[in-house]
Structure 1
Amino acid sequence: MQTEHSFTLVVAYVDDLLVTSSDSTVITILKTALNSAFTITDLGALKYFLGIEVSRSDFVQQLSQFLSEPRAPHWSAAVHVLRYLKGTINFGLFYPANSGLSLEAFSDADWGTCIDSTRSLTGYCVFMGNSLISWKTQK
């Protein structure tokens, strides 16, 4: 739902709802209306949805707080973000419909064989079906 002053999105999956809006008042009104029609449980801020961990960045919120009186550094930061988004518009994770929902994880450790630092390297990757959903490598 989009109004002149806000944008609200409700995602439904079986018996779970994900509600987000640019106006927190709209979320409160919607949750109150849903609770009067059904018994709902509010799980608070989104951390996981459909088994996928969700993290937020305050970067866009930090930029948006300066929209009323932007200065040159704010403008430069906004242009930088827009250029980045333009250059990565085709990036994303692809989850094919025929891929299963099995979760597989792999890990490895390379004990102290880094030639430059003689430190250990460890890493892991997690797949949902055939799709990589999480990975990390660190010394």
Structure 2
Amino acid sequence: MVLPPGFQAEKPNQVCKLLRSLYGLKQASRQWNVKLTAALLNYGFKQCIADPSLFTKGTGSSYIALLVYVDDILVASSELILIQQLKDVLDKAFRIKDLGVLGYFLGIEAKVSTAGLNLCQRKYAVYILSDAGFTDCKPVNTPMVPGTHLFQEDGTALTDPGSYRRLIGILLYLTATRPNITYTVHKLSQFVSSPTDRHMAAAHRILRYIKGSPSQGLFYPATTTLQLKAFSDSDWASCADTRKSVTGYCIFLDTSLISWKSKK
């Protein structure tokens, strides 16, 4: 590294000892995660095995959950005093910034009411439409034309395949709250290596579908039963290029959709 201006070396070939990971270094994010995890475990939290970014503590009315994404933290509990105690501990250790009641987290808009919790990505959906020039497009009722079959070499190759790849990448994040477009986006993501005009037309139809309901998302009611329900299905060798099947599943906690996937 280059020594800072004004530093006077007393001995030749001196080096600087790094006391903490500098922001931007490859190991900085890992070191931060290790330190935050250690602090939460020492405070009594348990790290979820299925999702290492989720930490929980207590049971019943004394239950508190904490979700981490790099240095963004989301805390939930029915007891406000537990949240305040946790904030005091974290602020003492890391000097945190409290952003208040949940409203916007990682591009997902959250609205809490007496009826329940509503999650959507309206702002992100409007940005997608504006970026692609589909703000004034005519909406459609389905994300894909029923009975459509797309192939790897179906149509004319795009002169700018980067625009297709960027659009699919943007739509992939929208599936976080829009399971109704998961299958279509999954299908179109298989053609990012060599997209054609037909693939792009199918992607544009998703935008027209989003135009009809940009605020659509997920709703979790305040009163529910802890009844777990799962549904799954698969077709038979529907992919004409690989002759592989496509399977999908969705898992509900009572009427609340908590997990879903569409995969070849």
TM-score (norm 2): 0.27
Who wins on radius of gyration, i.e. which is larger? 2
TM-score (norm 1): 0.48
Tell me which protein shows more strand as a share of its residues. Answer: 1
